[in-house]
Amino acid sequence: MIRVPPVARSPVSFMTYLARACLSGMLACLVAQIACGAAPAKELAVTIDDLDINSDDTPRLDLDQRDQAILSALRREHIKAALFVCGMRVDNDAGRRHVAAWNQEGHIIANHTYSHFDYPEVGYQAFSQDALRGEQIVSGYSGFQKLLRFPYLKEGATVEQRDQMRQFMTAHGYRNGYVTIDASEWAIDERMRKRLAGHPDADLSAYRDFYLEHMLSRADYYDTLARQVLHRPIRHTVLIHANLLAALYLPDLLTAFKSHGWKLIDAQQAYQDPVFSKTPDTAPAGESLVWALAKASGKFDAVLRYPAEDSVYEDKRMDALGL
């Protein structure tokens, strides 16, 4: 006897059958996720570079206020970031006080070199010595971890140069403080401060809106690319500079991430993802780790731009918006 499949009975009952099947499938997935403690779909940790990238004074908020604003945005979300310290920017009493405040709140204190050299430009000797000089500035803090972030995310122009620093990091116990979600928010900050310099009372909401949209779009771009390259979701590290833009709008940005399905996690948790021990075979080396892995796979050459992020990609739209 041939069993009549549900589809042959009637369109209505087939739809009901489908709906039930989907619902039970969804429930099964949900139960499995809870049972296995599976990670939610999109996770990111905040990493902050270049405390403090702006000069001492900016309109609206002074150095202390900017620092406090960024710290309190993180505190409000109960997340611990990684702070990549550029030594020369904090090598004074005020700078040391600020790093100490970050340390006290439990954020990772990491090395972003002393002089913020462009590695391909200065070469291995100067760059590696400068990384050690940067270490002296941060190594005394209890939250110090041997994570090294390359300025401009440039890790070597050639295979030889890239591998020299990889060997240096291994020899000195360092891991690469990779960024997976890169962006050009620094360019928005630049424009906003320029506007404020001429118009102290300017309405900044358009800068805020562009910032949120830009960061969300870069986050989704790198998340989609990561899933295509690695065939799984990864824990992301987003790069945000310590600047006036972040001081004013980091709370809004973190809220926006959450409302777009992102779970905010600690940097410590993010860096445990095995993706961060990868060493992509690319030259020039660097950019977002996700970009580099995509590049190394050889499968995305048609869609990958170089550099991966830069103000030139955003200028036209910011011009059009009058930013």
Binding site for Zn ion (CB under 5 A): 49-50, 151
Q: Which of residues 151 and 284 has its CB atom nearest to Zn ion in the complex?
A: 151
Q: Which of residues 121 and 319 has its CB atom nearest to Zn ion in the complex?
A: 121
What's the helix, strand, coil split of the chain in %, to 5? 55, 10, 35
Please state the closest distance from residue 265 (CB atom) to Zn ion, in A: 22
Please state the closest distance from residue 271 (CB atom) to Zn ion, in A: 18
In the chain, the largest separation of any two C-alpha atoms, in whole Å, equals 88
Encoded amino acid at 306, one letter:
Y
Q: Which of residues 113 and 164 has its CB atom nearest to Zn ion in the complex?
A: 113
Phi/psi at 191 (5° precision):
-65, -40
- Work out the angle between the directed axes of helices 185-198 and 312-320 (0-180°, nearest 10): 40
Q: Which of residues 108 and 229 has its CB atom nearest to Zn ion in the complex?
A: 108
Please state the closest distance from residue 55 (CB atom) to Zn ion, in A: 15
Non-local (6+) Cβ contacts of 169 within 8 A are 148, 175, 176
Q: Which of residues 229 and 243 has its CB atom nearest to Zn ion in the complex?
A: 243
The residue behind tokens 């892995």 is: 293
Non-local (6+) Cβ contacts of 11 within 8 A are none
Q: Please say whether the beta carbons of 81 and 238 come within 8 A.
A: no
Task: Supply 277's token pair.
Answer: 């021990």
Q: Which long-range contacts (CB under 8 A, 24 or more apart) does 67-73 make?
A: 67/98, 67/101, 67/242, 67/247, 69/247, 69/248, 69/250, 70/242, 70/246, 70/247, 70/250, 71/101, 71/102, 71/105, 73/250, 73/251, 73/254
Q: Which of residues 148 and 204 has its CB atom nearest to Zn ion in the complex?
A: 148
Please state the closest distance from residue 43 (CB atom) to Zn ion, in A: 24
Single out the residue of 320, 311, 309, 59 nearest to residue 192, CA to CA: 59
285/302 Cα distance (integer angstroms): 18
Please state the closest distance from residue 82 (CB atom) to Zn ion, in A: 13
Q: Determine the straight-line distance between the first and last CA of the chain, rounded to whole angstroms.
A: 73
Please state the closest distance from residue 53 (CB atom) to Zn ion, in A: 7
Q: Which of residues 47 and 128 has its CB atom nearest to Zn ion in the complex?
A: 47
Overall size of the chain counted in residues = 323
Please state the closest distance from residue 164 (CB atom) to Zn ion, in A: 20
Q: Which of residues 42 and 112 has its CB atom nearest to Zn ion in the complex?
A: 112
